[in-house]
Amino acid sequence: MASTTLSPQAQPAETTRRLARVNWTLVLGTALLLGIIAFGTIGRLLVSREGMKLGANDFAAPPGAQIPLGTDPAGRSVLVMMIYGTLPTLTIGLIAGGIGTIVGASLGLVAGYYGGPIDTLVHSFADILLGVPSLLVLVVLASYLGDMSIATMSAIIAFFAWPWPARSVRSQTLSMRELAHVEMAKLSGCGDLEIIFRELMPNLLPYIATSFVRSVSGGIMASVGLQMLGLGSLTLITLALMLSSAFSSAALTRGLWWWWFPPTVVLTLLFVALFLITLSLDEATNPRLKAARAA
């Protein structure tokens, strides 16, 4: 059977096509996420916050030429509320996911590298938190604290977000600490912190990135759950607060579809974007998924 050899000019193009086939989930997920961010950032330059004031427009007006997505029963523009509510929704997830990933990855690295009592303590505490009904605890805390800022809500959510990154990084560190280059670093007189941050962490960045994206998605979902229950911040406009207001005002039975449907679409696209990014990172770090994709 004759073999086909690519010319030097055709090789870069073939490599590009292969990368596009392998990483289409990452490309699509990133494009969706950047589109949502652009909607929230560029939109603020085009519309004024005045549209979110009570009575700024006709009450419960349907979508039209002047008001593309209509208004809620208080006369606030749904489009303006979505533009100014998208970034705070994403910000809560980014802060909660960032804190949870940093804390979890740090604890996972230390526990996996040192082992012994430190590993037992971190691993046990993570298992205990994973067994706690986090949403129930979040509801109790949110009820006690009342109206919360983005930072407060993110910090509370992050407290329950770190166990998953900790377990993932710990399991990888346990296997990597026995590798030859780590042993050579020890024999060369390198300190523990130097080994952790120079020898182990660079190889764990894909796993940490995957944990971060998952934590962001979980943080957004937790904030949506809190605000849908009427908890969390009641003054900061977010997509979840729009949905909570719509359902509490019986928008479904009153036929005000334009009040709840647009924010639902944006939230759905946000979760789809994060899921696609997580899926692509999983394929890059999980040998079984890569083998299945290649087959």
pLDDT-derived band at 80 (thresholds 50, 70, 90) equals very high
pLDDT-derived band at 22 (thresholds 50, 70, 90) equals low
Q: Are 243 and 264 in contact (CB under 8 A)?
A: yes
Q: How far are the Cα atoms of 43, 51, 265, 270 from residue 66, in angstroms, in the given order?
A: 16, 12, 21, 27
Report the distance separating Cα 167 and Cα 161, nearest Å: 11
Question: How large is the average pLDDT for residues 16-41?
Answer: 80
Q: Is the model's pLDDT at 31 over the cut of 90?
A: yes
Q: Are 200 and 113 in contact (CB under 8 A)?
A: yes
Report the distance separating Cα 41 and Cα 38, nearest Å: 5
- Candidates 22, 16, 18, 2; CA nearest to 279 is 22
Q: Is the model's pLDDT at 42 over the cut of 90?
A: yes
Q: Regarding the domain with residue range 39-45+77-284, which homologous superfamily does it belong to in the CATH classification? A: MetI-like (1.10.3720.10)
Report the distance separating Cα 173 and Cα 268, nearest Å: 35
pLDDT-derived band at 7 (thresholds 50, 70, 90) equals very low
DSSP code of residue 50: G
Report the distance separating Cα 274 and Cα 270, nearest Å: 6
Report the distance separating Cα 31 and Cα 109, nearest Å: 32
Delimit the domains of the chain by residue range.
39-45+77-284
Question: How large is the average pLDDT for residues 52-76?
Answer: 84
Average model confidence (pLDDT) for the chain?
A: 83
Query: What does 72-136 look like in DSSP terms, one character per residue?
Result: -TTS-BHHHHHHHHHHHHHHHHHHHHHHHHHHHHHHHHHHHHH-HHHHHHHHHHHHHHHHS-HHH
Question: How large is the average pLDDT for residues 102-120?
Answer: 91
Q: Is the model's pLDDT at 287 over the cut of 70?
A: no
- Give me the pLDDT at residue 86, please: 94
Among 40-54, 143-157, 159-173, 194-208, name the one with the lowest average pLDDT: 143-157
Q: Are 249 and 73 in contact (CB under 8 A)?
A: yes
pLDDT in tens, 240-258: 989 988 888 888 888 889 9
